[in-house]
Structure 1
Amino acid sequence: MIRTLIGRKGSRRGWANTVAATGWGESTYAELQWDKSRSAAMRWGVAGAVVGLLIGLVAFAPAAWLAGAVASATNQRLLLADARGTIWSGSAVPVLTGGPGSRDASALPGRMEWTLGVKGLGFELRASQACCLNGTVVLELRPGLGRMNVTLVPSQGGWIGQWPSAWLGGLGTPFNTLQLGGSIRLTSPGITFETVEGRTLVRGRADVELVNASSRLSTLDSLGSYRLTLNGDAASAGTSQLNLSTLEGALQLTGSGTWGAGGVRFRGEARAAKGDDAALSNLLNIIGRREGARSVISIG
């Protein structure tokens, strides 16, 4: 029995001596460390690949993504058709439609080109179109938590652009019935739109002018020229003022209203200048609710 115990003890000492002699313990520890290092390297490699992929997706994001965002924001009433390039530098054909399911559509001649770059804590969008924009139009976009701030930077002379009135026919009724001629001009000394939790706040002013308007519903070569003014004051509970006036012409338009959380509310009227009643009768019946010599315009 003593010999057996001695034999067992000797066997253990022999095993320990073997481990010490061969360095097996140190080898196992080194292998464990290597496995850990390799696992960490693999994790960093995967993370790097994912980050690289994301950067690549952002850098080469197709222009169609921007077109989709515009269509969604406008309920498919403004489309950027045949979008080419990337969201950072691309081009497309602006098209107005009557919305989902509408068969009405009207495209502008030529392509609109844009570039999008980072500026400060936001982005700067620069757009140009030979037919309609005054040089390069600049929009500053500043996203935030639950909000988006869009500022139209004033162009030279405050003139932003001019479009054919016939383009509005793509929106459907009543523009497709009126078949307007003339042009639409946008001027602004600067205006900012801020969307906060579904509400749109406006600061600044913009004027939309309908110049030398005509319609197939009238025998007159020209109905006149008109101006719709949007005045925004973010301090006034988010409500902006709308004013419609006649600059000159046989068709006399006046009205006022507001644009706020409840949408657009507008009241106005249309009349024929003296001696032009017969030539404008059909048009007055379409514009609004006829009350004697005037046509009442009511929105909202």
Structure 2
Amino acid sequence: MRSLLQKSKKALPWSLVALVSIMFTVLVLLPAAWFSPLVAQATGGRVSLAAPAGSLWHGSAVLMLAAGPKASAPTALAGRIEWHTAFGPLFLGQAKISMHANEAMSEAVQLIMTPRGATLSSGRLDVPASLLAGLGAPFNTFNLQGEVRLQWSDWRLLGDKPFGQLMLSLNNMSSRVSRVKPLGSYRVVMQALGRDATLELATTKGPLLLDGRGQWAKQKFSFRGTAQAEATERENLRTLLNLLGNRIEHDVYALVLDL
């Protein structure tokens, strides 16, 4: 009996090493497919990762945008998003992930996650406007075409409160519901302030003039703005203006959205 106990004590360290090795191997080989449902759940089905390949540590997938979990026609970003998770920071209680979109993102961004929150480094993403159709109305109604650039400052998430600035540049936009091409170029700036956020829309150039301001407060979004056309294209854009909102004064239409 004593001999058996002694042998067990000698074997215990090696058993622990074997167990740790097995657990480490399992972690390293965790398939990227395990990560996809987490992204979809965190974004309410609006962002998802399709065709995942590799592992949680080094993998890639196709970025999909949709209006929600039941959307029937999500749209895909050209190319694939690749990520690499550093192992060392895990010992400090951090998950450090480097991400890069091989066709849409000029430089990689860093995502650092801790038990208290997360930080996404500043970056830029260039995509075609057709990708926005996956977000649903009103984007799928107008079938927008043009160039879209998404830029953001360091984005911080403290608990469930986001902080940061995001700027969306819509350049040389056109729509299937209007023969006027291009309609114009626009800038949307969103400022996240924790529980609340603000949004500003402005026209940088073009015959279709859009402006307005929105706010998220108490989990509700409200936007108020106006749409009008330059005199030279007023008649050609009248149909589009009527689709955008109700006329509130001579040749000025209201942009109203409440969610």
**TM score, norm. by length of structure 1:** 0.75
Question: Residue 169 of structure 2 corresponds to which residue in structure 1?
Answer: 209
Alpha-carbon distance in 2 for matches of 1:50, 1:286? 64
Q: Which residue in the other structure is 2:238 paired with?
A: 281
- Deviation at residue 140 of structure 1 after TM alignment: 2.7
Q: Tell me by how many angstroms 1:48 deviates.
A: 4.4
Instruction: State the identity as a percent.
Output: 30
Counterpart residue type for residue 150 of structure 2:
L
Larger radius of gyration: 1
Among 161, 165, 187, the residue aligned to 1:200: 161
Aligned match of 1:72 in 28, 41, 55?
41
Q: Which residue of 2 aligns with 1:108?
A: 77
**Aligned pair partner of 2:142 in 178, 197, 220:** 178
- CA–CA distance in structure 2, aligned partners of residues 229 and 245 of structure 1: 9
The correspondence for 1:225, drawn from 175, 181, 185, is 185
SS at match of 2:78: coil
Structure 1, 262-271 or 40-49: larger mean CA deviation = 40-49
CA RMSD of superposed structures (Å): 2.4
In terms of fraction of residues, the more helix-rich structure is: 1
Task: Go from structure 1 to structure 2 and tell me whether the alpha carbon gap of 1:229 and 1:42 turns closer, same or farther (over 3 Å shift).
Answer: same
Return the letter of the residue paired with 2:35. Answer: L
Which residue is equivalent to 1:163? 127
Q: How many residues align?
A: 254
Contact 1:122 1:140 in 2 (8 A): no
* Cα offset, 1:42, TM superposition: 6.5
Q: Assess if the C-alpha contact under 8 Å between 1:200 and 1:261 holds in 2.
A: no
Indicate how the Cα distance of structure 1 residues 230 and 172 shifts in structure 2: closer, same or farther if over 3 A, else same.
closer
* 3-state SS of 1:101 partner: coil
* 1:40 CA drift (Å): 4.8
| 1:88-127 → structure 2 map (5 Å cutoff) | 88-118=57-87, 119=89, 121-127=93-99
Q: For each residue in 1:260-296, what CA deviation from the matched residue of structure 2 results, as whole angstroms up to 9, or x when unmatched?
A: 5524332222222223233223322333344353132
1:187 is aligned to 2:147: no
SS of 2:181 mapped into structure 1: coil
Structure 2: gaps (5+ residues): none
* Distance in structure 1 (CA, Å) of the matches to 2:23 and 2:224: 51
Report what 1:36 is aligned to: 5
For residues 221 and 24 of structure 2, what CA distance do their matches in structure 1 show?
A: 41
For 1:288 and 1:54, locate their aligned partners in 2 and report how far apart those are by CA, in whole Å: 59
Q: Which runs of 5+ in 1 are unaligned?
A: 1-30
Q: 1:264 to 1:274 in 2, by over 3 A?
A: same
Change in Cα spacing, 1:98 to 1:288, as seen in structure 2 (3 Å) is same
